[in-house]
Amino acid sequence: MTRVPRFSGVLVPVLTPFKPDLSPDTQKFVQYCRWMLDQGVDGLAVFGTTSEANSLSADERMALLDALIDAGIPGEKLMPGTGACSLTEAARLTSHAVNHGCRAVLMLPPFYYKGVSDDGLFASFSEVIQRVGDSRLALYLYHIPPIAVVPITLSLIERLIKEYPDTVVGLKDSSGDWSNTESILNAFPGFGTFAGSEAFLLATLRGGGVGCITATGNVNPAGIKHVADNWQTPQADELQAGITLVRKTIQAYPLVPACKRIVAQFHDDVSWAKVRPPLDGLGAEQSSKLLADLEAVDFAMAPLKVEMAAQ
């Protein structure tokens, strides 16, 4: 069987809009995903950290994925997050994604129990892969120790690649530690390593990585994609400095609420600022300061063009 080419470039962990009752707003989610693809990003890493995925139930995640597929967004553009503390839930979410033709999934380690061994983590990933039992599965590991507090070590990566070379095909490194990303790139050439922030995009590509999967791609998709497309040009360092400045400006604030507040402002829809508890939205003072800081660095965001789906 010919496999779909692996992901590369710029992927975005898409924000999840919520209605006043805190249920996901499916229509806005689909519209926003279409807009994101129109901005030229290479894929949608729906149900990532920025998506508030772990504040969503498995049924909510699957219903949103169903809606994307039903709306004609191709599975080859999708890398859903399917990690969960529950092994059965992770397998269920992963099977659902594979059966929808998603090109890959992005999987957190089970993150409730801390201080677990590589043996335990290997067994968890292995069990999910075995339960899904589908040769179409392409799995990207999600290393985010600042949040999960459960790291994916080099030795664990090595074991998984050796056991499942056609399934475990890459990793998103959201450690925020360039030395860790560099170690992965050096240890596993050809592995699909993504930086977790566009601040490391150019260095990752130069080191043999494949791109970035980044929260602020929600608000600066075209700018980040421009760097990915021009990383081998003489202008690459200057372009990188521009997107890094925007990133640093935004991450001075709580990242998910800040991204949602920016979308609310530039897409002229206050409902986008809503987050699901336990997250808090930005207050009026923080919002004003964030927008002023962005204006100071000449940030702008393309407007959302709402297109009615064919009935």
Q: What is the CATH number of the domain that holds 136?
A: 3.20.20.70
Which pLDDT value is given to residue 306? 56
Mean pLDDT of all residues belonging to the chain = 95
Domain assignment present for residue 165? The answer is yes
Q: Quick check: bond before 221 cis, omega within 30? A: no
Predicted TM-score of the model (pTM)? 0.94
Position 1 scores a pLDDT of: 40
Per-residue pLDDT reduced to its tens digit, 249-279 = 999 999 999 999 999 999 999 999 999 999 9
- Residue 62 placed within a domain: yes
Question: Which residue range is the domain that position 72 belongs to?
Answer: 9-230
Confidence tier at 5 by pLDDT (50, 70, 90):
confident
CA distance 56 to 300: 30
| Distance (Å, whole) CA 216 – CA 205 | 18
Arithmetic mean of pLDDT, 133-153: 97
Q: Has residue 71 been placed in a domain?
A: yes
- Distances from the Cα of 22 to the Cα of 47, 64, 274, 284, angstroms: 16, 14, 8, 21
Domains in the chain: how many in total?
1
> What values do phi and psi take at 299, rounded to 5?
-80, 140
Task: Please check whether residue 186 lies inside any domain of the structure.
Answer: yes
Asked if residue 202 is part of any domain, the answer here is yes
Q: Dig out the tokens for 78 from the structure.
A: 């999708």
Which tens digits make up the pLDDT trace of 73-132?
A: 999 999 999 999 999 999 999 999 999 999 999 999 999 999 999 999 999 999 999 999
Asked if the structure places residue 215 within a domain, the reply is yes
In a domain, 26, yes or no: yes
Residue 92 belongs to some domain of the structure: yes
